[in-house]
Amino acid sequence: MSVSTMITQLCFLICVSVSAQHFNQRITAADASEKLLGPINKEALSSTPFSAWFVSEEATYAPDDNIVSSLQPNLSEYTITAFMGTWCGDSKREVPRFYKILEAAEFPLDRLQMIALDNEREAYKQSPGGEEEGIGIHRVPTFIIYKDHHEVGRIVEHPKTSLEADLLAIISSEPYEPNYPEVTFLMEQLKKQGIQSLISNSEKLVPKLASLTEDIRGLLTYSSVLLYSEEHEAALAVATLATKVFPKQYYAYVNLGNKLQYVGKKNDSIKAYEKALELRPDDESLQETIASLKNNSAH
């Protein structure tokens, strides 16, 4: 065997080894619980300890046979990328059901990419390989359906009707809007017009966001995802918009104050906390936080 051939084979083995290390990756959290991160498959989800919820949920879910029959002829023309968290209650419910539907519809699982995301603060809803970057993952699970490398729709967190019905609506080109339309709107705004548009046009955006938003959670979660993805300016812009859409909600200002403090804007965080205190003047913990920040600023 020539030296060049040996080197080629060695490089191949190294690549295979590195690739394997990043597939079905298990992490032990600080509380001793296990979680999966990065690209994973059904085999990993069917193993202990994840099998405790995956196997039973898959077995008990009964998809609509008529809808599954309608999915069968064309579903294999699509590819699907799904993002989940093995720590997430919604993922524990929807992901096993999704596998059940795909297999019933005879969808080839090699056309499904399943990515497990983290829930640690510094890697919030991120994968070690960065597969979520640039595609607006703010809730898990998120199932993104592609055709010819173009996204045709996504199911966010939970279905509007059922997973199989939502999936059929998407591949049938029926009107379909995923959950948290306010976040979809903001993502499009950021993509097309940039961060400054969220700041300079906030008065025009607030009525639109108010018409799309059922509660504050979507905006707060999206701002957190941006923050821990190092998109600080966008995170603060979204958190600020949340205070304008929900001006009477105490936690909107606490959330903004927390994020301002995280990026080192101490004086601005004090102002946000003081606004929250106006809404809940008996909050002793918040009073102590404000006093501590002011005391530190004085030194």
Mean pLDDT of all residues in 217-239 = 97
Residue 12 has pLDDT above 90, yes or no: no
Q: Which two tokens stand for residue 220?
A: 């707060």
Give the CATH number of domain 19-171; options: 3.40.50.720, 3.30.2320.80, 3.40.30.10, 3.30.360.10: 3.40.30.10
- With CA atoms as reference, report the closest residue to 62 among 171, 167, 164: 164
- Of 157, 36, 171, 178, nearest in space to 102 by CA: 171
The class of domain 181-297 in CATH terms is mainly alpha
Cβ atoms within 10 Å, residue 250? 16
Residue 20 has pLDDT above 50, yes or no: no
Cα→Cα distances 30→39, 56, 77, 90, 175, Å: 22, 27, 42, 22, 44
Q: How confident is the model at residue 182 (pLDDT cuts 50, 70, 90)?
A: very high
- Report the 10 Å Cβ neighbour count for 210: 12
Report pLDDT for 22.
82
φ/ψ of 184, rounded to 5, equals -55, -45
Q: Tell me the C-alpha distance between 265 and 262, whole Å.
A: 8
Using an 8 Å Cβ cutoff, are 125 and 87 in contact?
A: no
Question: How many residues appear in the chain?
Answer: 299
Mean pLDDT of the chain: 93
Task: Compute the radius of gyration of the chain from its Cα atoms.
Answer: 23
Cα(139)–Cα(142) distance, integer angstroms = 6
Fold agreement (19-171, 181-297): no
Q: What is the pTM of this model?
A: 0.89
Q: What's the rounded mean pLDDT across residues 49-71?
A: 98
Q: Which residues contact 187 (CB under 8 A, 6 or more apart)?
A: 136
Mean pLDDT check: name the lowest of 20-24, 66-70, 96-100. Answer: 20-24
List the domain boundaries for the chain: 19-171, 181-297
What pLDDT sits at residue 17? 42
d(CA 226, CA 235): 5
For residues 184-207, average pLDDT: 95
Q: Write down the pLDDT at residue 13.
A: 47
